[in-house]
Amino acid sequence: EAAYYLSEGYPPESIACRRLNKELVCDFYYSDVGLEELQINFFSGGAQVNLLGFRRSYGELASQLSRVKREYKRKAIEAASTAPTGEVGLTGGSR
């Protein structure tokens, strides 16, 4: 769907990732301007594309998606490494 929109000149405004049931899910966000007709064509089965242009759009989106996922994972690792461990008390020694 996203590759179809891009091949028709509608790139996503942003891509955001989130955790859902232990899986990483990414959402594409679009401006609503002009997208309704493309959505109707896509979901009614009437979408037609130039195959070469569609493949380029698909590759471009796959690259963007990989970059967004890497960034999300990098930030998650950073956040985990700076978060408190939850360990309380002293270690070692005897009473």
Whole-prediction pTM value?
0.74
Res. 41: pLDDT tops 70: yes
* Residues 57 and 3 sit within 8 Å (Cβ to Cβ): yes
Q: 55-80 b/e with 16+ CB inside 10 Å = b?
A: eebeeebeebbeebeeebeeeeeeee
**Model confidence pLDDT, tens digit, residues 4-16:** 999 999 999 999 9
More confident position, 2 or 94? 2
